[in-house]
Structure 1
Amino acid sequence: MQYHIIIVVIIWSTVLADSRKIRGISLAYRRFYKEKRSFLCIDGSKIIPFEQVNDDYCDCLDASDEPGTSACTNGRFYCINLGFRPHYIQSSRVNDGICDCCDGSDEYNSRFRCRNTCRDLGQRELVEVEDRMRAVSEGLLLKQQLIKEGANIWQEKQSQLRDLQRVGEQLRAKMEAHRKRERKAEGMLGLLMPQGDDNRKKKGPESLTDFFQELDCNKDGSITVEEVQANVVSRGEEGRGLTEREALDLLGGHRQADLSLFRETLWRSLKSDSGVKMKEDLSAVGGVDQAPNIKAAGDGSADVKKMEEAYDTLQMEIRDLEETLSTDYGADKEFMYLLSLCVELAVYEYTYVLCPFNQVTQKSSAGTVLLGKWGSWTGHSEKRYSQMLFDGGELCWLGPTRSTVVTLACGTRTALRAVKEPRKCRYVMELESPASCDPLQGSRKVHNEL
């Protein structure tokens, strides 16, 4: 009989000791729960007898006296989870018949027995971590290739810009030359066209200056061989036009002459009646010489118009290239490969298309909706290139203008992982890219208890 009494006492003592065990606290807080005569609430608000710790009655305002029960509504229970990740749960979930801690420690006084799954979860997480680290390593190798590719694309774009700028300068010079010839042809044409409504014979010039101004068709202050041919004829042979050689001789062998040279050369010939004269009626004799000048003026105008159109197109290409080169493609141009790339993801009846540095659209049977145009990088200072903003999309019905935030994640491919609309017309996307891989991601340690 005494033997049985001793056994009962031992069992009761064990149960009592087990009930007094302080559960639900982390190693960092163990020092507050050393058994003694009194207990000071961790927030310092109250002192209670130590017997009232974990007695299923909430005495402390911060719930620190009941870490292992559900007595306090604001309490927390610490799951040690040896072999996996430790974490806190709400005290209300202690002994509720549901296993919240993988080691089952939250159901110590429950009729429901929990199986310890921490080791299995730890092994599974270890595999996931190793896979993630392997993906980061592969992503970093791919990133190095993308950096080289980005540098090549950048140099190619710069070379294209320089070539276009050089062609633009050449085309502009060519246009100026054509315009000058056009003005000269129009000047000759104006001289050859009849003056006045009655086509009466124009009164000839009388003075040196009058003759010079009459011959200076384009009013540039000089007389050229062509202008002499257009306005001076031979006195004999029924007003025969002059050859280029004859006109050149009349200007003393010069291709053009100012007023001073004109006085010493052609003016003397005109005054001495030595075989040449001004055309008496420019409109009358223009039938022979006018047509080529009209054609020259018309052809010149058409050529200048074509060149102006080509120049405008060229300038648009130059502006587009300058805008492309002004965009931030990452510290090492690692994101530049995305410039000519679009990725898409189907979600229910919609297909979302992301074209980095360009725009985001949503396609459906009803049509295509613009969800935003490229705006800027919006990641925080340490991770500037972790987030993209696309704004200025189409206006929502009774809502704001659509916009999209794209978060970039490390991966071995370039693809959209997810698309959500957490708020009306505010979209969030996750883009996987090797260019987002960071060496620090591969160096993170697995939890010590794994």
Structure 2
Amino acid sequence: FIILPPDMHFHMIIVAVFWFGFVDSRKIRGISSSYKRFFRERKSFLCIDGSKIIPFEQVNDDYCDCEDGSDEPGTSACPQGRFYCTNLGFRPHYIPSSRVNDGICDCCDASDEYNSHAHCQNACWNLGQRERAYVEGQMRTLDEGLQLKQQLIEEGVLLWREKQAQLRELQQVAEDLQTKLEERRSRKQEADRLKEQTPRPPEAGDGQNSTVTGTFKLLDSNKDGSITVDEVQAKVALVHDEERVLSEDEAVALLGGDHQMDLTTFQHTLWDILTNGGRVKVSALSNTFLFVFLSDLREKLAIDYGPDWEFLFLNSQCYKLKVYEYTYTLCPFNQVTQQSTAGTEVSLGRWGMWEGPPKNQYGRMVYENGEPCWQGGSRSTTVTLTCGTETALRSVKEPSKCQYIMDFQTPVACQPVLKQRGIHSEL
């Protein structure tokens, strides 16, 4: 044993305290709390990848000994090293160890510039306050959006039931009309058969021509020798809605696309339509309108509007956004178009499918088979739905030629989430 003088013993204690304090500070610099167990005070250090054991004093000595860089978390010695910014009050994160002591403050708590000329201030608290305010705003938006979504769900359920009832009613009307039509065709066939078997008296006049002429005169109210749109609207009605006046487009359709019709044309066109229905105000055209409407209604009801029909209200709606010289129009479940200031309209795709991720199936829409692109193929658009308190088209981008991306905001895209999502526990 060597007995040291009292004054030297005191100095040795100070040196030991200083040295152990230095080692302790080195071993925890740039390390997250979850990795502290790898850096407990020991005689040796095992590289985290298990590739090498080194003396513990070589940790954070500014020389890279481990291939994974785990021995130099607080210096820039290792190319693959990572420095952990604690950033108390904000979000912790890693930075490449090459940025340590490079004169630029990368950590908001300035912990990465502990030995450089940079004068960094701790900005974590201010950043944390701003982020907390942003997250709180997002939570308020989410709460309001979810309330609006619930209203839209309730409206969607009522609308769905209404459309289903309308479909059942129209199907019954269509079946009744089809039955009547078959009966009339059968009677007509029987009448034609009897007519062929019965000789026609020579003195008899042409009854059909007489009926055609009489019907024509009945429709020709002003007796000018032609039937007009106004006269058709006044005298012709649909079988399933006799009280409704035909629209101008419907009357023009009856007249073969023209606005008037003479007797000869009437005999070979409109007369057949009217007589196939049985009487003037029971026209075959009404049956055609009905089946077209039924087909359109069935097609709309076949679309997936979400588990609670919350997206049903978007059907038959369109949303516009002007971006520079183009105006983009999104009509959900129908199509996407682009119109230039010159008025030229281009299809960017028609409704295809939902294509969201498994956890949010209804978070993305795909519109396909738009107009051909000059590079080949057809234009297409992907629409991402985001939560918001109003329904609007927010942005349009074209990341690659003829491939478009849209951000569409709507309350029905809001999803219940944990209040703490996106907020780190250290805030």
TM over 0.5: yes
> Could you say what secondary structure the match of 1:164 adopts?
helix
Matches of 1:152 and 1:293 in 2, distance apart?
51
Query: Matched residue of 2:339: which SS?
Result: strand
Report the Cα offset of residue 23 of structure 1: 1.3
The one-letter code sitting in structure 1 at the alignment partner of 2:100 is V
Moved more, 385-394 or 415-424: 415-424
Question: What SS does structure 1 have at the residue aligned with 2:386?
Answer: strand
Q: Is the 8 A contact 1:54 1:68 kept in 2?
A: yes
Is 2:338 the counterpart of 1:362?
Answer: yes
Q: 2:156 aligns with which of 139, 150, 157?
A: 150
Looking at structure 1, the residues matched to 119 and 26 of structure 2 have their Cα atoms a distance apart, in angstroms, of 20
What letter matches 1:382 in structure 2?
K
One-letter code aligned to 2:357: H
Relative contact order (alpha carbons < 8 A, sep ≥ 6): 1 or 2 greater? Answer: 1
1:291 aligns with 2:206: yes
What's the counterpart of residue 446 of structure 1? 423
Q: Which residue of 2 aligns with 1:63?
A: 69
What is the rounded CA distance, in whole Å, between the counterparts of 1:167 and 1:287 in structure 2? 44
**Aligned twin of 1:74:** 80
Identical amino acids, percent of aligned pairs: 55
Alpha-carbon distance change, 295 to 166 in structure 1, aligned in 2, over 3 angstroms: farther
State the Cα distance separating 1:32 from its structure 2 match. 1.2
Q: How does 1:206-355 map to 2 (within 5 A)?
A: 214=197, 217=198, 282=199, 285-288=201-204, 290-295=205-210, 301-305=272-276, 307-355=283-331
Q: Does 1:433 align with 2:349?
A: no
- Tell me the secondary structure at the aligned position of residue 206 of structure 2: helix
User: In the alignment, what sits opposite 2:41?
Assistant: 35
Q: Residue type of the partner of 2:45?
A: F
Please say if residues 388 and 409 of structure 2, whose CA atoms lie closer than 8 Å, have aligned partners that are also in contact. Answer: yes
Q: Does 2:390 correspond to 1:390?
A: no
Return the alpha-carbon distance in structure 1 between the equivalents of residues 19 and 64 of structure 2. 25
Matched with 1:160 is 166
**Counterpart position of 1:46:** 52
The answer to whether the 8 Å contact 1:343/1:416 transfers is yes
CA distance in 2, matches of 1:327, 1:26: 50
Q: Mark the CA change 1:433 to 1:166 in structure 2 (over 3 Å): closer, same or farther.
A: same
Note if contact 1:56-1:66 (Cα within 8 Å) is conserved in structure 2. Answer: yes
SS in 1 for 2:399: strand
Q: Determine the structure 2 residue equivalent to 1:96.
A: 102
**Count of aligned positions:** 352
Aligned residue type for 2:113: E
Counterpart AA for 2:181: M
- Residue in structure 2 matched with residue 206 of structure 1 by the alignment: none
Could you tell me how far apart the structure 1 residues matched to 2:185 and 2:113 are? 94
Tell me, yes or no, if the aligned pair for 1:74 and 1:90 is still in contact at 8 Å.
yes
- Aligned residue number for residue 4 of structure 2: none
CA distance in 2, matches of 1:170, 1:21: 88
Task: Map 1:171-186 onto structure 2 (within 5 A).
Answer: 171-186=177-192
5+ residue gaps, structure 2, are 1-6, 216-270, 278-282
- Displacement of 1:327: 0.8
Out of 436-445 and 148-157, give the one that drifted further.
Answer: 436-445
Give the conservation status (yes or no) of the 8 Å contact 1:370–1:394.
yes
Contact 1:186 1:297 in 2 (8 A): no
Q: Which of 7, 14, 22 does residue 17 from structure 1 map onto?
A: 22
What do you get for the CA RMSD once the two structures are aligned? 2.7
Task: Give the letter aligned to residue 22 of structure 2.
Answer: A
Q: Is the 8 A contact 1:343 1:353 kept in 2?
A: yes
Which has more radius of gyration? 1
Question: 1:375 corresponds to which residue?
Answer: 352
TM-score, structure 1 length as denominator?
0.72
SS of residue paired to 1:430: strand
Partner of 1:424: 401
Aligned to 1:276: none
Is the Cα–Cα contact under 8 Å of residues 185 and 293 in structure 1 kept in the other structure?
no
Cα deviation for residue 22 of structure 1 reads: 3.4
Question: Take 2:369 and 2:40, find their aligned partners in 1: how far apart are those partners?
Answer: 62
TM-score of the pair, normalised by structure 2: 0.75
Question: Does the 8 Å CA contact 1:189/1:294 hold for their aligned counterparts?
Answer: no
1:227 maps to: none
After TM superposition, the structure 1 stretch with the greater mean CA deviation from structure 2, 13-22 or 163-172, is 13-22
Cα distance change, pair 445–76 in 1 and its aligned pair in 2 (3 A) = closer
The CA distance in 2 between the partners of 1:46 and 1:304, in whole Å, is 98
Shift of residue 323, structure 1, vs aligned partner: 1.0
The amino acid across from 1:335 in the alignment is F
Cα distance in 2 for partners of 1:442, 1:393 equals: 41
Given residue 330 of structure 1, which amino acid in structure 2 is its aligned partner?
G
Moved more, 297-306 or 91-100: 297-306
Structure 1 unaligned segments of length 5 or more: list them. Answer: 191-213, 218-281
Whether contact under 8 Å (1:175, 1:304) holds in the other structure is no
Q: Residues 15 and 57 of structure 1: is their aligned pair in 2 closer, same or farther, counting only changes over 3 Å?
A: same
